[in-house]
Amino acid sequence: MAEEHGRKWDRCLADTAVKTVTGLGVGIVFSVLLFKRRTWPVAFGSGLGVGMGYTNCQNDFRLPYLIHGRMVKDQ
């Protein structure tokens, strides 16, 4: 059970990090493209990413009985 918890945390952190970076990336792109290199879309995007990650993490932790389905390839 502890590994589950650990795994959850790993997933959560990884997910958050990805979202943040993705948000940061999108933010940078939007700032560069649309908003004449303003910083607010970068912060907005990273924040967006962190928020999403945080919520996901929380949901993950809240819904313990939610089974994460995995795609099993037919071999």
Partner 1 sequence: MLRACLRGANATARNNCRRNPLTSVQHCRHYTAGETSGATKVVAAGLLTVSSGIGGTILYAKWDHKFRAAVEKNVPYSDLLFSLALGPSSQEGLPIKKQSEKKVKEAAESPAEESSPATTQPAQSIEGKSLISVSASLEESLASSAKTTLQAIGAQEAALQAITQHTHKLKEAMEAEVPPQEKSAQWKDLEAALANRTCAMNDASTALLKANETLGSLKSVIDKSKGLNIAAVHPLVLAAEENLHNMIVDLDKVVTKVQSAESEAKIVSQYSELVNEAKQQFQREVSSLTPEIQANWKGLTGKLSADDLNALIAHAHRRIDQLNRELAEQRVREQIHIDAALEQQKLEDQKALEKAVNTTLQHVKEEARLEQERKLGELREVMEAEMRTQLRRQAAAHTDHVQDVLKVQEHELRAEAEQVLSSKMLEQETRYRQLNQEQLDNFTLDMNTAYARLKGMEEAIDSHVVAEEEARKAHQLWLSVEALNYTLKTTDSDLPTIPLKSAAEAVRDSCHDNDFALALASALPEESLHRGVYSEASLRARFNSLRSLARRVALIDESHNSLYQYFLSYLQAALLFEDEQKAPPTQLSREDLDPFKLLSYASYCLEHGDLELAAKLVNQLRGETRRVVEDWLTEARLTLETRQVVSLLSAYANAVGLGTTQAP
Q: Which residues bind partner 1 (CB under 8 A)?
A: 1-2, 5, 54, 57-58, 61-62, 64
Q: Which is nearer to partner 1, 62 or 73 (CB)?
A: 62
Comparing CB distances to partner 1, the nearer of 63 and 71 is 63
Our CA angle for 50, 55, 58, nearest 5°, is: 125
- Quote the least distance from Cβ 12 to partner 1, whole Å: 9
Instruction: Identify the CA nearest to 68 among candidates 3, 22, 11.
Output: 11
Closer Cβ to partner 1, 16 or 31, answer by number: 16
